[in-house]
Amino acid sequence: MKLQDLLQGLAPLEFHADPETEITGVAHDSRAVQPGNLFVAISGFDTDGHKYIPMALERGAAAVLCEKAPEAGSYVRVADTRLGLAQVGANWYGHPARQMTMIGVTGTNGKTTTTYLVKHILEDCLGAKVGLVGTIQNMIGSEVLHTERTTPESLELQALFRQMADAGCTHVVMEVSSHALSLHRVGGVTFDVGLFTNLTQDHLDFHHTMEEYGRAKALLFQQSRVGLVNTDDPWAPLLMEGAACPIHTYAARRDADLRALDIDLEPHGVAFTARWQGSETPCRLGIPGAFSVYNALGALGIALALGIPPQQAAASLATAQGVKGRAEVVPTPGKDYTVLIDYSHTPDSLENILKTVKEFARGRVIAVFGCGGDRDPIKRPIMGKIAVDLADHVVVTSDNPRTEDPMAIIDQILVGTRDSATPVTVIENRRQAIRWAMDHAGAGDVIVLAGKGHETYQEIGHEKFHLDEREEVAAHLMGN
């Protein structure tokens, strides 16, 4: 592809290269540069890609896309190379997103479950082959692909879209993180439907304020054809402010375009009546908890926006399964207590899962949780307070301490547990904490292992060590 074609859609500030240059590929890591490539220099958080321009040229880069003019070599200077990389990636891979129906889901909690519900509905109702991009994994139909982050870098994301389109996917449903929106990882992608679930405290180490966090999420509605917003969330007005597309609303507590009525929270799921454009449809989802009503409403709203009849979408919802690590019940044969794993690592998600469990627990609720290192420290005492307020016994342990001292993190959590009558046990080793909870559980108790969810590792320092909580529970039951 010629350089001028690869740069379609960009507005260069300087063009010091031959537009007819034949480009053999695109790279944003100098170590991956091949002869004839366009090297995109990204100003990152840990390092500045402009420092590696000489290395990229040495490895044979034909031209450089940059924000700061290099001392040598052919280059094109733009205002923002992250946005430039997104546009270049879309051009290089032939704009695969335009060949598929694109659905984006943003929000603090509920993204993963909602995307899985939407994928199930599309496959069930339309017979569609659906690509999925998410926290747990990426999927092409039933094929599972490993993922390192919620939304890949823009170049890798476009490569994934090309893979999905070439495999026959007609739809893509993806979690769109605030980082992805702020850092232009989804630049150049137009979503046929964009959905906002909710906004609660998270990622303030990156966004600094809730307002900044909310405005990052709201960017989704600058690149969607239709938006869906949960108006029960107090941040909904901010999300709808300045939207560049029509917005439909959904809610359970107030009037909205799509409304849940007659809500019944059951031990094994939720049931409600969905009201849409004057018609009412009974709905059921086999995942317990009030938050499941919102996940179901969001998925239903997306289906309706895509023209799927409400009765058909509701029938499909009733057959949908839960997501690994989201309110997941772990088998405990021969025991009269329950162990449940949930990826609740924010104040709101921890509150939701503990409230959910209290709705059906016959005995005590035992919460086992910690907080990740090198992440927002403000939420640690908040989560400690939530745990002692809602659980009957709290076991504070490690999550992914990363480069922080695990006990220092625990001490910050414990600040929120002061002056509470709820028993608190501190066991820094997470494996030992799980086993302690199982040994001290009684009839009807529910142990909530919060924070790890689908993860099968624990990150300590810069290393990831294998830790699958399902395996830990099974091993302890077997006496290992």
**Residue 292 is labelled as binding a ligand:** no
Rg (CA), the chain: 24
**Residue 227 DSSP SS3:** strand
**Residue 349 is labelled as binding a ligand:** no
Strand ranges across the sheet with 101-106: 143-145, 138-140, 130-133, 171-175, 101-106, 193-196, 227-230, 247-251, 258-266, 269-276, 279-285
Q: How many CB atoms lie within 10 A of CB 427?
A: 19
**Residue 401 is labelled as binding a ligand:** yes
Check residue 172 and report its DSSP letter: E
List the structure tokens of 235. 């941040």
Helix (H) or strand (E) holding 424: strand 424-426
Instruction: Name the nearest CA neighbour of 102 among 397, 306, 391.
Output: 306
186 alpha-carbon distance from chain centroid:
14
Across the strands, what pairs with 191? 224
**Residue 111 is labelled as binding a ligand:** yes
**Residue 417 is labelled as binding a ligand:** no
**Residue 110 is labelled as binding a ligand:** yes
**Residue 112 is labelled as binding a ligand:** yes
**Residue 91 is labelled as binding a ligand:** no
Length of the chain: 480
Greatest alpha-carbon span in the chain: 75
Question: Is the distance from CB of 292 to CB of 355 less than 8 angstroms?
Answer: no
**Residue 94 is labelled as binding a ligand:** no
Question: Is the distance from CB of 371 to CB of 349 less than 8 angstroms?
Answer: no
**Residue 9 is labelled as binding a ligand:** no
Distance CA 318, CA 320 (A): 6
**Residue 224 is labelled as binding a ligand:** no
**Residue 178 is labelled as binding a ligand:** no
Distance CA 44, CA 46 (A): 6
Question: Is the distance from CB of 27 to CB of 53 less than 8 angstroms?
Answer: no
Strand ranges across the sheet with 25-27: 14-16, 75-77, 63-66, 37-40, 25-27
List the structure tokens of 390. 């809602």
Distance CA 228, CA 210 (A): 20
**Residue 37 is labelled as binding a ligand:** no
Q: How many CB atoms lie within 10 A of CB 209?
A: 9
Query: How open is the CA angle 13-18-21, to the nearest 5 degrees?
Result: 120
**Residue 375 is labelled as binding a ligand:** yes
**Residue 107 is labelled as binding a ligand:** yes
Question: Is the distance from CB of 98 to CB of 189 less than 8 angstroms?
Answer: no
**Residue 399 is labelled as binding a ligand:** yes
Question: Is the distance from CB of 399 to CB of 451 less than 8 angstroms?
Answer: yes
**Residue 400 is labelled as binding a ligand:** yes
Q: How many CB atoms lie within 10 A of CB 75?
A: 22
Distance CA 433, CA 83 (A): 45
Check residue 337 and report its DSSP letter: S
Question: Is the distance from CB of 5 to CB of 91 less than 8 angstroms?
Answer: yes
Binding residues: 30, 107-113, 150-151, 177, 185, 375, 399-402, 451, 455
Residues marked as binding for ATP?
107-113
Binding residues for meso-2,6-diaminopimelate, as ranges, are 375, 399-402, 451, 455
